Amino acid sequence: MTAKNENINRHLDHLFRHESGKLVSVLTRIFGTENLDMAEDVVQDSIVEAFKQWTYSGIPENPAGWLYTVSKNKALNILNREKNKRKYADELARDSESENSSGQTLDHYFSEEGIADDQLRMIFTCCHPSIPSDSQVALTLKTLCGFSIKEIAKAFLTNDETINKKLVRARQKLRQESVTFEVPEGKDMEKRLNTVLKTIYLLFNEGYSASSGKDLIRTELCEEAIRLASLISEHDTIQDKSEVYALLALMQLNTSRFSARQNNEGHILTMAEQDRSVWNKELMQAGLNNLERSTYNKNVSIYHVLAAISAYHCVAVSFETTDWKSILALYDSLLEFDNSPVALLNRAIALSKVHGAEKGIQELDLIKDNPSIKTYHLFYSSQAQFYYELNNFSEAAESLKKAIKYSTLPSEKTLLEERLKTCIEKIVT
């Protein structure tokens, strides 16, 4: 491949990642949720045409604008076929009666305001209750975030076939249930919003602590989660946005520390080792502002508690000055929402900071037989840290060996292996 074609491919990859979700959303409004495949095909065809055209004429001054125009024209061509016009464009036909032409209506749909509205509709469509919960995140990643099936499979540690089946079933549900492309209202909004926020949080978590691949952090997943939550926070018809602001705060506060989580060699840095001067203060302040916004109506959700925990970490000027007593109190509150082994593990860490490593070990003993913990590397690495603090280097080494066994990321394995080496040196001496 020539250097020119490689440059075009880079531009198109960037465009597809950042613009395809917007285009698919608008086209789904035009064609209907039952024709989601068609919307995705139009975007893909536009990308292919861009490569062909740009190979000869060069990359246009406004690549995104070019792609939008081509996609709009392709949609108009489909709508101008009589059989498809009747099948796909009921809403478009109504709008066109007052605006004189389908073309003018499409111009409105493709406006900045129209695109933002349709992205919000698409979020709620992807998280419709008729779609299995394990397929909602996959559909969101595919339609709104521009992820390929291979990328989604990699993110969730599964194979392409499994993800493809989830997407097929999700689209079938949209057709079978005749799901309308809209933002719900009233009580339906309350039910659906909870699912949407949960999906966005799962998306962020996968980026914050990747389950596979070579990268500890998948920044693009976190950025997409924040972008989607921001869209929801700006929507006027949602009456109670406290949970939205809390989730947005949680993600912004955690993301503000990304630049310090790894060194130049890609090795993980613990919170105690991080250079806090490189934390993103602007993003951190945005998170603190949203956390304050989330408290206006006194409602408390799991996102409020988690965001408050993150805030305590962010405002501490050093690791040593971290307010662990307040963090422990928040973890006690968290158990009312989430009593899972992972939540109990995190609480045990906070507990050890307040009452000592021995107390932390006792807490871990209470959950060590839980099936979901037996292969969780962070359980064993935390256990190893407690033993290390108690100068029990033999037990620490055994725990680290298990942590290494169950860790999936190279950067995590490297950190654990370094700790194991230190333990062995302590045992020898």
DSSP readout, 330-354? Answer: HHHHHTTT---HHHHHHHHHHHHHH
Higher pLDDT, 208 or 54: 54
Least confident of 117-126, 211-220, 294-303, 340-349: 211-220
Higher pLDDT, 293 or 56: 293
- Over residues 187-212, the mean pLDDT reads 78
Check whether residue 82 and residue 132 sit in a common domain: no
Query: Is residue 355's pLDDT more than 90?
Result: yes
Would you say 25 and 112 are in contact if contact means Cβ atoms under 8 Å apart? no
Check whether residue 14 and residue 103 sit in a common domain: yes
Q: Please report the pLDDT score of residue 146 as a whole number.
A: 81
Query: Is residue 390's pLDDT more than 80?
Result: yes
Least confident of 131-145, 215-229, 279-293, 316-330: 215-229
Q: Please report the pLDDT score of residue 222 as a whole number.
A: 85
pTM over 0.85: no
d(Cα 110, Cα 26) in Å, to the nearest integer?
Answer: 7
Please check whether residue 64 lies inside any domain of the structure: yes
Check whether residue 23 and residue 104 sit in a common domain: yes
Query: Is residue 160's pLDDT more than 50?
Result: yes
Would you say 359 and 351 are in contact if contact means Cβ atoms under 8 Å apart? yes
Check whether residue 167 and residue 69 sit in a common domain: no
Final residue before a domain boundary, out of 110, 140, 158: 110
Name the range with the highest mean pLDDT among 73-87, 96-110, 247-261, 401-415. Answer: 247-261
Q: Please report the pLDDT score of residue 211 as a whole number.
A: 46
Q: Please report the pLDDT score of residue 129 as a whole number.
A: 87
Final residue before a domain boundary, out of 175, 207, 239: 207
Name the pLDDT band for 105 (thresholds 50, 70, 90). Answer: low
Task: Say what angle helices 324-334 and 302-315 make with each other, to 10 degrees.
Answer: 170
Residue 168 belongs to domain spanning: 114-207
* pLDDT tens track for 25-43: 999 998 888 889 999 999 9
Take residue 187 and report the two structure tokens written for it.
């009580």
SS3 call for 268: strand
Q: Please report the pLDDT score of residue 212 as a whole number.
A: 46
Name the pLDDT band for 1 (thresholds 50, 70, 90). Answer: low
Q: Please report the pLDDT score of residue 168 as a whole number.
A: 92
Q: Residue 268 pairs with which residues in a beta bridge? A: 262
Residues contacting residue 361 through CB under 8 Å, at least 6 positions apart = 383, 386, 387, 390
Check whether residue 85 and residue 5 sit in a common domain: yes
> What's 62's DSSP letter?
S
Please check whether residue 25 lies inside any domain of the structure: yes
Take residue 103 and report the two structure tokens written for it.
């073309």
d(Cα 114, Cα 106) in Å, to the nearest integer?
Answer: 10
CA-nearest of 68, 88, 70, 92 to 78 is 88
Please check whether residue 403 lies inside any domain of the structure: yes
Name the pLDDT band for 164 (thresholds 50, 70, 90). Answer: very high
Least confident of 9-13, 257-261, 364-368, 381-385: 9-13
In this structure, the chain runs to a length of 429
Name the range with the highest mean pLDDT among 86-100, 194-208, 287-301. Answer: 287-301
Please check whether residue 218 lies inside any domain of the structure: no
H-type alpha helices, 127-185 = 133-143, 149-155, 160-176
Query: Is residue 91's pLDDT more than 70?
Result: no
d(Cα 3, Cα 232) in Å, to the nearest integer?
Answer: 41
Q: Please report the pLDDT score of residue 216 as a whole number.
A: 46
Check whether residue 98 and residue 129 sit in a common domain: no
CA terminus-to-terminus distance, the chain: 57
- C-alpha torsion sign, points 6, 8, 11, 14: negative
Instruction: From residue 27, give the alpha-carbon distance in Å to each of 30, 53, 132, 306.
Output: 5, 22, 24, 37
Take residue 202 and report the two structure tokens written for it.
């799962």
Query: Is residue 392's pLDDT more than 50?
Result: yes
Would you say 231 and 196 are in contact if contact means Cβ atoms under 8 Å apart? no
> Percent of the chain at pLDDT above 90?
44
Check whether residue 329 and residue 422 sit in a common domain: yes
Count CB neighbours of 289 within 10 A: 14
What phi, psi does 209 have (nearest 5°)? -140, 85
Say how many domains are in the chain: 3
d(Cα 29, Cα 38) in Å, to the nearest integer?
Answer: 12
d(Cα 380, Cα 360) in Å, to the nearest integer?
Answer: 12
> Percent of the chain at pLDDT above 70?
90
- Over residues 178-182, the mean pLDDT reads 88
Least confident of 70-79, 266-275, 287-296: 266-275
**338 burial level (CB within 10 Å; 0-12, 13-18, 19+):** middle
Final residue before a domain boundary, out of 164, 186, 207: 207
Check whether residue 168 and residue 153 sit in a common domain: yes
Instruction: Give the distance from CA 229 to its chain's centroid.
Output: 10
